[in-house]
Amino acid sequence: MAKKWYPVIDYSTCNECGACVKKCSHGVYNKEKELTPIVTNPEECIDHCHGCGNICPQGAITYVGEDTGWVPTNLDKK
Ligand code: SF4
Ligand code: SF4
pLDDT tens for the chain, residues 1 to 78: 457 999 999 999 999 999 999 999 999 999 999 999 999 999 999 999 999 999 999 999 999 999 999 999 875 544
Q: Measuring CA to CA, how many Å separate 3 from each of 35, 43, 53, 64, 74?
A: 25, 6, 18, 9, 27
| Residue to substitute in 39, 49, 54, 55 for testing ligand 1 pocket (most ligand atoms within 8 angstroms of CB) | 49
What is the position in ligand 2's atom list of the atom closest to the CA of 21?
6
Per the structure, how many domains does the chain have? 1
What is residue 78's predicted lDDT score, i.e. its pLDDT? Answer: 45
User: Which CATH number do you get for residue 61?
Assistant: 3.30.70.20
**Spacing, Cα 78 to ligand 1 middle (Å):** 22
Domain of 49? 6-70
The answer to whether residue 52 sits within a structural domain is yes
> What pLDDT does 74 receive?
72
Find, among 2, 4, 3, 1, the residue nearest to 66 by Cα: 4
Report CA(14)–ligand 2 centroid distance (Å). 5
What integer pLDDT is reported at residue 73 of this predicted model?
A: 83
Residue 44 CA to its chain's centroid (Å): 12
Residue 72 CB less than 6 A away from ligand 2 = no
